[in-house]
Structure 1
Amino acid sequence: MRVCGCRENSVPVKIERKRNIADLGLWWRRHARSGMAYGKKDETSEYLKLNEDLRNQDFRPMYLLYGVEEYLKLSYKKSFRKAFGGEEGLCYDFFDGAPDVDVLIDTVRTFPMSFTGTGRLVIVQDSGWFKKTPPEKLTNFLADEKEYPETGHLMFIETEIDKRNKLYKVVSSRGFVCELGPQSEAQLSRWGARYLDNAGKKIRNSTMQLLLSMTGSRMDNIASELEKLIAYVGDREVIEDQDITTICSRNVEDQVFQMITELSLGNKEKAMQYYADLMLLQEAPMKILALMRRNFNQLLLAKESMDARMAPADGAKYTNVSPWIYKKLCEQARHYTKENLEEYLSDCYHYDAAIKNGNIADRTAVELLLCR
């Protein structure tokens, strides 16, 4: 038996026979056309609509912002709060977690204590209502145009949602839904350049790519490194490659990626050096093992998509990563056979179970995996 590649947060599937590559390509084309493929639509137009609402001070009755990009969620939360005066209780209220439904409805109905004309903004973050059966009373209230006040503006901020959810359908029909997911390399490059431009700094595209290769795609990580660079260069206008290599830190995910790249090239000593560096940073071996498992799983999916001769955009959707990350995965996957990746992924699950059962120390397990 072997372990087949599976998308993140899913259970690995044990299969008895090799997957037919032609069938895989046919499956992908069929499901991509029907909208069932693992992929994300272009989010740029959605961001523009949010920005237009803020610029025009013309707000919809309700919003749902969801996704894994915490930086964007926090940024839009601050921008909308500022647009409504920013002071809790006057024209703005915030609930962290699922509030009492009656309290929430009363809050939305409360007349704003301001004459700006924007109304009252109520933000509910991490309610969990979009992943399970939502409160019927709330759903009915939001769906009823006569009951819902003209001055009320309700914003939900979530990480995960289910589009079959009744509350999601109500909000999407009466308001606006925007996914704040991982950004592409091009989007991150443009955003990073604007960030630096606002601070009076400039950066070459190649230097920005070097920075992104070290920080990963999380915008909060990138913003933190940009602030370090701004402070480091002082009055100097242009940020150079040497500034990046001198002051910026590699994130854990990138170090694990580099470690696996060295494994693929047969450089076990260099791979062990990356692991030693992670140990010096006091990263937990279990976290490193989990990141290795995720990376090998992504590599196996990338390998399958390459064998099926998928177009890069389709391969990125199949692997469930951004086109930028998919390109890096394909470069890495070329150094592995499909059988190698299956064996590594199987070993990751084996060592994970052995650690949890107390049969092996976590640090020893990772070292054995690196030396196999």
Structure 2
Amino acid sequence: MAYGKKENDNEYLKLGDDLKSGDFKPYYLVYGTEEYLKLSYKKAFRKAFGGEDGMAYTFFDGAPDVDELIDLLNTIPFTFGDNNGRLVIVGDSQWFKKTPPEKLVKFLEDIDHYPDTAHLMFIESDVDKRGKLYKVIQKNGFACEMGVQDHGQLSRWAARYLSNAGKKIRSSTMDLVLSKSGDSMDNIASELEKLIAYTGEREIIEDEDVEIICSQNVEDRVFDMITEMSLGNTDRAMKYYADLLTLQEAPMKILSLMRRNFNQLLLTKESVTKGMTAQEAAKYVGVTPWILSKLQNQAKHYSLDGIEDYLSRCLDYDEAIKSGNLSDRMAVELLLTV
């Protein structure tokens, strides 16, 4: 029987349907850059099959021996009948970026003889959708990407997170939380936990709570620093830099983030020239639509030549630092003031 599904941005939510119904596919593949989501579903599936210490669950960190994997899948767990069968999770196998073992591909292709008690899940970072293994899982199982979520998805997820803790938050206050935490779900969850603890028995989370509790991440501080540069506010830009140094952020990391920000501005400018839609531009720049809107506003204050000049200087300073001709701290100061 084929269980193939078409992917979209919210496809991973269907994993929750399987967990609720107990109707599990023979094969799963989850991949992408959002580690929080991948880890969350790994834990949820593990729990559904008896937990980490159960006899029906096995985890391989990296590519296992193929014969061992097949033998394990063919072995009926002693607990079958008491739970959902056997679950084997393989993390970071690399089989989806290079030629996979042919023996495994043939084993998984023969869905009619695949044991009903076995469920196999791969958790990967990158995949090649043209590969044999990917196509087999897409046809007979379920493949979904867990990438960076857009602003709306993050808002809804964070609202559910708070609701489960008995908390409520206005949409404008949620925007403030996300502006400080960035788009990493790990960071957002950490900030939400701090807000939950801080507000105690009080139900509604206010802007003031966020301002007191939530820390602005380093990427946002660098973004604000570059915005001040574009407006000619050198003193304010240097104040952001001093704050970052006080927080013990390494100048080389700050320089790297500045270079990334300028590169994103360059791509943002190019997306406008190419006449891209907002969705196309976000994909082209490699950011969420919400972050793209911030970059578009920032880019208005820079010329294309100015951005390219800053990128060139970032590269020059990086080489000078590595050759010992310039300190990393001075390199950032030169970018901010010259």
Same fold (TM over 0.5): yes
Counterpart amino acid of 1:129? W
1:111 aligns with 2:110: no
Q: Distance in 1 between matches of 2:228 and 2:125?
A: 34
Of 173, 196, 220, the residue aligned with 1:230 is 196
Does the C-alpha gap of structure 1 residues 166 and 286 become closer, same or farther in structure 2, counting only changes over 3 Å?
farther
1:100 aligns with 2:65: yes
Counterpart amino acid of 2:327? A
Deviation per CA, 1:324-350: give whole Å up to 9, x if none. Answer: 111111011111111111111111122
TM-score by length of 2: 0.93
1:74 aligns with 2:39: yes
1:286 aligns with 2:273: no
In structure 2, the partner of 1:176 is 142
Does the C-alpha gap of structure 1 residues 162 and 239 become closer, same or farther in structure 2, counting only changes over 3 Å?
same
Other structure's SS at 1:182 match: coil
Tell me, yes or no, if the aligned pair for 1:183 and 1:322 is still in contact at 8 Å: yes
Tell me, yes or no, if the aligned pair for 1:88 and 1:94 is still in contact at 8 Å: no
In structure 1, the partner of 2:4 is none
**1:84-95 superposed matches below 5 A:** 84-95=49-60
Q: Distance in 2 between matches of 1:138 and 1:42?
A: 27
Counterpart amino acid of 2:267? L
Of 17, 23, 26, the residue aligned with 1:58 is 23
Tell me, yes or no, if the aligned pair for 1:121 and 1:155 is still in contact at 8 Å: yes
Deviation per CA, 1:239-286: give whole Å up to 9, x if none. Answer: 111111111111111111111111111111111111111112222222
Deviation per CA, 1:29-62: give whole Å up to 9, x if none. Answer: xxxxxxxxxxxx7422x12321111111111111
1:187 Cα deviation from its structure 2 partner: 0.8
Of 286, 293, 302, the residue aligned with 1:320 is 286
In structure 2, the partner of 1:333 is 299
1:158 aligns with 2:129: no
Q: Distance in 2 between matches of 1:90 and 1:331?
A: 55
Q: Distance in 1 between matches of 2:176 and 2:274?
A: 31
CA RMSD in angstroms, aligned pairs only? 1.6
Structure 1 gaps, min length 5: 1-40
1:75 Cα deviation from its structure 2 partner: 0.8
Q: Distance in 1 between matches of 2:8 and 2:305?
A: 34
In structure 1, the partner of 2:239 is 273
1:353 aligns with 2:319: yes
Structure 2 gaps, min length 5: 1-6
Q: Distance in 2 between matches of 1:112 and 1:289?
A: 53
Q: Distance in 1 between matches of 2:34 and 2:65?
A: 27
Q: Distance in 1 between matches of 2:321 and 2:203?
A: 51
In structure 2, the partner of 1:364 is 330
Counterpart amino acid of 2:196? I
1:146 Cα deviation from its structure 2 partner: 4.8
Does the C-alpha gap of structure 1 residues 89 and 108 become closer, same or farther in structure 2, counting only changes over 3 Å?
farther
Deviation per CA, 1:145-201: give whole Å up to 9, x if none. Answer: 255322111101111122222222222222111100011111111111111111111
Q: Distance in 1 between matches of 2:175 and 2:70?
A: 47
Counterpart amino acid of 2:301? H
TM-score by length of 1: 0.85
Counterpart amino acid of 2:290? W
User: How many residues are aligned here?
Assistant: 331
Q: Distance in 2 between matches of 1:166 and 1:286?
A: 41
Counterpart amino acid of 1:49? K
